[in-house]
Amino acid sequence: MIRIERSERLKKLPPYLFVEIDRAKKKAVDEGRDIIDLGIGDPDIPTPNFIIDALNRAVRDPKTHRYALDQGLPEFKAAIAKWFKRRFNVELNPENEILPLIGSKEGIAHTPLAFVNPGEIVLVPDPCYPPYRSGSLFAGGEVVSMPLLEKNRFLPNLRAINHPLLHKVRMLFINYPNNPTSAVCDRKFFKDIVDFAAKHNIIVCQDAAYSEVTFDGFKSSSILEAEGAKEVAVEFHSLSKTFNMTGWRIGFACGNAGIIEGLAKVKSNIDSGIFSAIQRAGITALENYERHIGSTIKVYQERRDILVGGLNTLGWNAQKPKATFYVWMHVPPRYTSATFAKALLEKCDIVVTPGNGFGEHGEGYVRMALTVDKRRIKEAVNRIKERLW
């Protein structure tokens, strides 16, 4: 038998956070324990029936059974452009400023392959969604962290970036509304990012997967609303969270035509496009956005209020997020992120995500997902009160 040696790029990666969490959860379930999973952010609300019906119709059309076009169905790209105009009042050219993706995650992970050379720097927020870091490392890039601190409202401090290194910076990732911190930003922040990137010749990748999950009347902005954004930026969107379609794997990148073209070239050498029937269902989803989104937000907002209110009755200072379906909160004194997550699993049969799994600046926090029904959220609070607190 040959010796199987993993590549150096793979050795650089830490264990993938959500795989490790799923492994711990599976072990607990196999032991017969009743686990409340507030860990991975996978919506428990079913995909709306009108989208399922659209897929059912499309999948019965033999034309959808062949290879999809690498660049995406023209009708789907046109639907994206119309939705984007309605939602953000930004014009997009479907021909060269929109690229459908097999979920936004793969586009995020593949973009550095198109533009980052070995040794070039990618600025990555810390804490962050892990593929920003892993995608950059796969491309041979050097990752430099931008700390997201509570005192800065979990926004990166651009003035604190080491200026002697800026000539080596090729790409910058941001993510608002933010995972895991649930932080939001305003248009001025996006404009500052655009101006910073233009000054230093940096590509900006803004992950907007949670742009539509917002509460209390708050509406998130797109970076492409900022003047000059199309000169430096692309934005990644996902149908996963907006339409409860995580397993369907469909999203899109939009913005700077040159960045879109580079990502498209990478993808043409890696995949053969999104199943056409799913793209047709995606058209139906976007065309019926206004009909659907209100009910989804209502469910998550009610769950948010129950979880945050319940935790605060225990004496914790949990904050209500304005967006995403996550609650990012300090761990109690005497705990670390990992030990608190372990205590919740072992003593309360509750899965949460330790903040340090998102980066060193996530230490001292845990993330709780609002992806179980309100009855289970109330039960989780009661278990913490009775078994841990």
49-290 to CATH, choices 1.10.3720.10, 3.30.70.660, 3.30.1490.20, 3.40.640.10? 3.40.640.10
**pLDDT given for residue 18 in this prediction:** 64
DSSP 191: H
Ordered by start, the domain boundaries in the chain are 8-46+291-387, 49-290
Are the C-beta atoms of 133 and 95 separated by less than 8 Å?
no
SS3 at position 203:
strand
Query: How confident is the chain (389 residues) per 10-residue block, as mean pLDDT?
Result: 88 72 78 91 95 98 92 97 98 98 97 97 97 96 96 95 87 98 98 97 98 97 98 98 97 98 96 97 97 96 98 93 98 93 93 94 97 97 93
The CA-based diameter of the chain, rounded to the nearest angstrom, is 61
Distance (Å, rounded) from C-alpha 91 to C-alpha 87?
11
Rounded to two decimals, the pTM is 0.95
Query: Would you identify the CATH topology of the domain 8-46+291-387?
Result: Aspartate Aminotransferase, domain 1 (3.90.1150)
Which has the closest alpha carbon to 256: 219, 202, 317, 326? 202
